[in-house]
Structure 1
Amino acid sequence: MNWTKMKKLAGCVAVAGVAVCSLSLNDVACQTPAAEKHGQQPATGDNKGFALVELYTSEGCSSCPPADQLMEKLQQENAGKPVYVVAFHVDYWNQLGWKDKFSAAEFTARQRQYSDWMNLESIYTPQVVVNGVSEYVGSNERSIVKAIDASLERGTDNALTLTGKADSGKVRVNYAVTGSTKNKTLYLALVQKKASSHVMAGENEGRQLSHVQIVRELIPVDISGKSTTINLPDTLVKEGWELIGFIQNKVNGNITAAAKMN
């Protein structure tokens, strides 16, 4: 796919009664995203289940605020469970008049990779991906909760443990992985727990938007190693961030373990 030839952004459409904003893969206007097309596949192994919930969102998308609110609700309702929420702000809505300060091209690239893995016709916001194998409209609470519950009941091939200590603008992360690591990558997501923005232009002009679990950096590390050091952005205040790690299959996107740093 040649994404450098992308010229036209599509508008908002309704999928199962839920509004989404879609970006076509073929320089045409709206296409309906293939949401909820791919069900989760059973995982093997004796490790306990978990759910990594990835939201793809943007401050420039008028359909995204309900999904951001849902992520906060899911986080509260699953407190104490191995449910890890991460929000990736994409950059392809920035040209509509408002630049999302949390957006990054690498997060858009990650979402595009999912479109390849899942054979989707478009990328869109808000989109939720659960454990790398199933995707949903980001405000579809019923389907997302069902996917989370199913993921918690499944075993996994790997187990991940993270420990570490922050000091002088850096954090030393120690990690341990069990199980096969063939064709897999360990990612560390540096997450800002909360933020808000007063949007001055674009589709959400005049709105005060609240966000949770914003990924500020996504760092691949050597899965065969034991530790790494991460520099903390100056904008992150003490106690305002956390580190979430996950193991992902490079061939099909399946996420086989996740953990939060203690």
Structure 2
Amino acid sequence: MTFTRTTLALLLALAAGPAWAQSQPKTVVELFTSQGCASCPPADALLTELAKDPQVLALTLAVDYWDYVGWKDTLALHGHSLRQKAYAEQRPDRKVFTPQVVVDGTVSAKGSDRAALQRAVLTARSNGGLAVPVSVTRDDDAIEITLPESAAATGGADLWACPVARSQTVAIGRGENGGRSVTYSNVVRGWLRVAIWQGDARRYRVPLKELGREGADSVAVLVQTGSPNSPGPIIGAAFLPLD
């Protein structure tokens, strides 16, 4: 079967529901990428395309393990390398590579392969998808996150608030991509573990100063089962511009 951009867009919109004040995605796509990875720019471009779809929370997680090849990634966080490895430990294949996407915290695919990404989205949705509706709003110098009562968080789930830069263009000076300028979309700039949610109806208030918003203009909220060292499925998500 041949997969086209139109087909992917239609599939990503299958579960579309009522509009929210903020973006209420149906799928979370995390792209593990690096400025020092020659095969990553096509995946970065595909993620930029996906980031335009309100049904998808497409996030760039820059890793640091390619820094030794001659260029230190200016957006990388070591925690992203650890998160990618932790994901791999939960899967039978145990593979860690760039560009790699993880969909809804469960399904891995090559980040530059449109057809593989499409299959990963369908597989993740067939496994239950994002069952928890998440509301996030701006209230002066804070954000408020509202979660309904839900059995999906049985055993507890981490509630994360991540400052995000919606667009970052980097002129890469050396390494495998030396001389190229690459635009990255929805770049995650940090992780704040707001709470361990037990599935009860709750509202959390997070001061913006706690987000550490350097270079960020938005916030992504993730509700994820498991733990940082053993991440499970993402069961809820939302995205809110802060500017």
Give TM-score, length-normalised by structure 2: 0.76
Q: From 232, 235, 240, give the equivalent of 1:253.
A: 232
Do the aligned residues in 2 keep the contact of 1:187 with 1:218 (CA within 8 Å)? yes
Once superposed, which parts of structure 1, at least 4 consecutive aligned residues long, lie more than 3 Å away?
A: 119-122, 149-158
Question: Counterpart of 1:69?
Answer: 45
How many angstroms does 1:125 deviate by? 0.5
How many angstroms does 1:191 deviate by? 1.2
Q: Do the aligned partners of residues 177 and 102 (structure 1) sit closer, same or farther apart at CA in structure 2, a change above 3 Å counting? A: farther
- Structure with greater Cα Rg: 1
Question: Counterpart of 1:43?
Answer: none
Question: Counterpart of 2:215?
Answer: 235
Do the aligned residues in 2 keep the contact of 1:160 with 1:178 (CA within 8 Å)? no
The number of residues matched between the two structures is: 206
How many angstroms does 1:90 deviate by? 0.5
Q: Do the aligned partners of residues 142 and 172 (structure 1) sit closer, same or farther apart at CA in structure 2, a change above 3 Å counting? A: same
CA separation in 2, counterparts of 1:245 and 1:235? 17
Question: Counterpart of 1:148?
Answer: 121
Question: Counterpart of 1:99?
Answer: 72
Structure 2 unmatched runs, 5+: 1-23
Pairwise CA RMSD: 2.4
Residues 186-211 of structure 1: CA distance to partner in whole angstroms, max 9, x if unpaired?
A: 11222110011111111111111111
How many angstroms does 1:258 deviate by? 1.5
CA separation in 1, counterparts of 2:88 and 2:225? 15
CA separation in 1, counterparts of 2:158 and 2:101? 21
Question: Counterpart of 2:32?
Answer: 56
3-state SS, counterpart of residue 255 of structure 1 = strand
Do the aligned residues in 2 keep the contact of 1:171 with 1:230 (CA within 8 Å)? yes
Give 1 or 2: higher helix fraction: 2
Residues 43-74 of structure 1: CA distance to partner in whole angstroms, max 9, x if unpaired?
A: xxxxx982100000000111110000011122
Give TM-score, length-normalised by structure 1: 0.71
Give the alignment of 1:1-262 within 5 angstroms. Answer: 50-76=26-52, 79-81=53-55, 83-149=56-122, 151=124, 155-156=128-129, 158-165=131-138, 167=140, 170-180=141-151, 181=153, 182-222=155-195, 223=197, 226-227=203-204, 228-231=206-209, 232-236=212-216, 241-250=217-226, 253-261=232-240
Do the aligned residues in 1 keep the contact of 2:25 with 2:237 (CA within 8 Å)? no
How many angstroms does 1:260 deviate by? 2.1
Q: Do the aligned partners of residues 94 and 84 (structure 1) sit closer, same or farther apart at CA in structure 2, a change above 3 Å counting? A: same
Q: Do the aligned partners of residues 150 and 115 (structure 1) sit closer, same or farther apart at CA in structure 2, a change above 3 Å counting? A: closer
CA separation in 1, counterparts of 2:67 and 2:188? 17
How many angstroms does 1:166 deviate by? 6.1
Structure 1 unmatched runs, 5+: 1-47
